[in-house]
Amino acid sequence: MLPAHELGLSDGQLYRAGELAPPGEYERVDRPGKTIILTHPDYLPASLDGTVALYMPVVRAAELINQQS
């Protein structure tokens, strides 16, 4: 896991392909719109194009509201 600010992204954590990630929705940093949904702890998929895929957890507005309550 990498701190997102190291790549000039907003606060948060990044996961590399092949890393074990908790359940949730993840979006590829280098390919916006490519999302992966994990229903249980699992490994994030590789890019298969020779690059290292990086994923950022997606936080929905409803989740933010619930966290603030």
- Bigger pLDDT: 1 or 37? 37
- Bigger pLDDT: 21 or 65? 21
Interval 3-47: pLDDT, tens: 655 555 555 688 999 999 999 999 998 887 889 999 999 999 998
- Taking the complete model, does pTM exceed 0.75, yes or no? no
Query: CB 50: neighbour CB atoms within 10 A?
Result: 6
Range of the structural domain that residue 60 is part of: 2-68
- Look up residue 65 and give its DSSP letter: H
65: pLDDT confidence band, cut at 50, 70 and 90? low
Distance (Å, whole) CA 8 – CA 24: 23
pLDDT at res. 67: 56
SS3 63: helix
Cβ-count burial of 6 within 10 angstroms (0-12 exposed, 13-18 middle, 19+ buried)? exposed
- Look up residue 19 and give its DSSP letter: -
Domain count, the chain: 1
